[in-house]
Amino acid sequence: MTTTASDQDFAAYDLFIDGQSTPSATGRTTERHSPSDGRLVGRYAHADAHDVDRAVTAARRAFDDTDWPTLAAPKRAALLRRVADLLRARTNDIGRRISLELGKPITHARTEVTLTAEVFDYYAALALDQRGELVSQHTPNALGLVVKEPVGVVAMITPWNFPLLLLSWKVAPALAAGCTMVAKPASATPGAALDLALVLRDAGTPDGVYNVVTGSGGEAGTALVEHPGVDKIAFTGSTEVGQSVMAAAAGTVKKVSLELGGKSPNIVFADADLEQAVRGAYWGIFLNSGQACQAGSRLLVQRDIHDDFVAALAQLTRTSRIGDPLDEKTLIGPLVDGKQLDIVLGYIQQGIDHGAHLVAGGKRLGGTFANGFFVEPTIFDHVGTEASISREEIFGPVLSVTAFDTVDDAVRLANDSQYGLAAAVWSRNIDVALHTAKRIRAGTVWVNAYHDAGLPFVMPMGGYKRSGIGRELGREGLEQYYETKSVHVRLGRP
């Protein structure tokens, strides 16, 4: 079935502050055009420092002057479950908004909404199992209580590539912990964050707990990071911007968690299930048109199977269903905007100039795709380890392939990067797979899978090296939104 776009797909949004939609102080707006065909799909309020101050003030009041931070765990869990139910009920509408703004295939966009609902369900369960510690045996006349308390007002700055899911990784645990928040979504895809505001409101979230300011990172984002009323920053984005966020937060010594860039190795040993590994390599890099921080953009293949593996992957790549994101059959959509298109095409040219072997793709699509930002899924083989396409995060559908001989070679190549976000290992030999996984310097390592091995939210996610600070998801993700307090109690004589 093909669902065509219509004038009804245009939407206008205000800011969301203290439980209400409200225009920006200046009345300025920004527009969003579809990356697939250039149509106007959205108009959004453009926040400035005054709007940010209004949002932080609302969040501060909700944290300091209401009972939200101490709400009983069963009530908090029930609210999170209602959020999950409402997200499922609105999957089609929210998914369509994501697809229109980002160009993500509609089936993938709807999946993003349903996965987000699962995140809220997961943290609803964890909300019922929050606990501290008791130190009771250190000395006979004292007790120690280790107490967990919400960190306060959280600034959440999120990227455009998974505009709802990555936001939920912050919002759900923050709600479970009892925090209040101000979300600043990417200016290209703010609709999902504002749609989530309505879901949270309808689920019964008190006014001021969740606020949204939209606009540029340089204006609204900077004002939010520097605001003295913010206790913590949770940021997902590029390493370069993350460094700026960290520096700006230092002025008020805010707590900071950062999920940053990656150049993730995907290692295939000769004894792997090759059909499964080829599919894993394909989706490892080409999911969301390669616009994923965990993308398996460096494919390391053992030399014994290298030629056959690359040939099979190239053949699968040439059959990619590229097209209108609103078409149910589309698997790969456009890049997010013209700037990202130029970046990706520039890296492809660098790969050609540096002598890498182009085995698939490499071109911008024209014809019926000329009004969009479509790039063919691209594979380079025989890529040297010093080439820019092997070392720098491209954030597009460009794969670099390198052959290796031994486990030691694979580990050396995998770790030869400033990043350490994710990796994968494909092998039927469990000893080889786990020994390799243990030696890779990355926050997530999949074995015989990529992106998902069936444990999507119970496992923590985050990076080594320049890929970030802190963890999201799992129990570790909840800990990011707590302060730890020690209470020392001296006991009198009985």
Tens-digit pLDDT string for the chain (494 aa): 234 445 679 999 999 999 999 999 999 999 999 999 999 999 999 999 999 999 999 999 999 999 999 999 999 999 999 999 999 999 999 999 999 999 999 999 999 999 999 999 999 999 999 999 999 999 999 999 999 999 999 999 999 999 999 999 999 999 999 999 999 999 999 999 999 999 999 999 999 999 999 999 999 999 999 999 999 999 999 999 999 999 999 999 999 999 999 999 999 999 999 999 999 999 999 999 999 999 999 999 999 999 999 999 999 999 999 999 999 999 999 999 999 999 999 999 999 999 999 999 999 999 999 999 999 999 999 999 999 999 999 999 999 999 999 999 999 999 999 999 999 999 999 999 999 999 999 999 999 999 999 998 999 999 999 999 999 999 999 999 999 999 999 999 88
CA distance 144 to 456: 36
pLDDT on residue 271:
98
Provide Rg for the chain, Cα atoms. Answer: 23
One-letter identity of residue 429:
N
184 Cβ contact partners less than 8 Å away, ≥ 6 residues apart: 155, 156, 157, 158, 212, 213, 214, 215, 217, 220, 221, 224
259 is an active site residue? yes
Judge whether 215 and 244 are in contact, CB under 8 Å.
no
Nearest to 174 by CA among 207, 152, 196: 152
pLDDT on residue 6:
54
The single residue listed with the structure tokens 């999911």 is 287
pLDDT on residue 456:
87
Q: Which residues of 458-493 are buried (b: 16+ CB within 10 A; e: fewer)?
A: eebbbbbbbbbbbbbbbeebbebbbeeeeeeeeeee
List 101, 112, 219, 259, catalytic entry = 259
Please state which of the four CATH numbers 3.30.465.10, 2.160.10.10, 3.40.350.10, 3.40.309.10 is assigned to the domain occupying 265-457. 3.40.309.10
Angle at 366 between CA 381 and CA 37, to 5 degrees: 115
Q: CATH 3.40.605.10: which residues of the chain?
A: 7-260+471-485
List 101, 179, 219, 293, catalytic entry = 293
Give 134-173 as a DSSP string.
EE-SS-TTEEEEEEEEE--EEEEE--SSSTTHHHHHHHHH
Backbone φ/ψ region at 38: left (φ over 0), alpha (ψ -120 to 50), beta: left
CA distance 378 to 380: 7
CA distance 78 to 128: 10
Question: What CATH code is assigned to 7-260+471-485?
Answer: 3.40.605.10
Neighbours of 353 (CB within 10 A): 10
pTM for the predicted model, two decimal places: 0.96
CA distance 380 to 255: 41
pLDDT on residue 7:
64
179 is an active site residue? no
Q: CATH 3.40.309.10: which residues of the chain?
A: 265-457
Angle at 242 between CA 236 and CA 248, to 5 degrees: 120
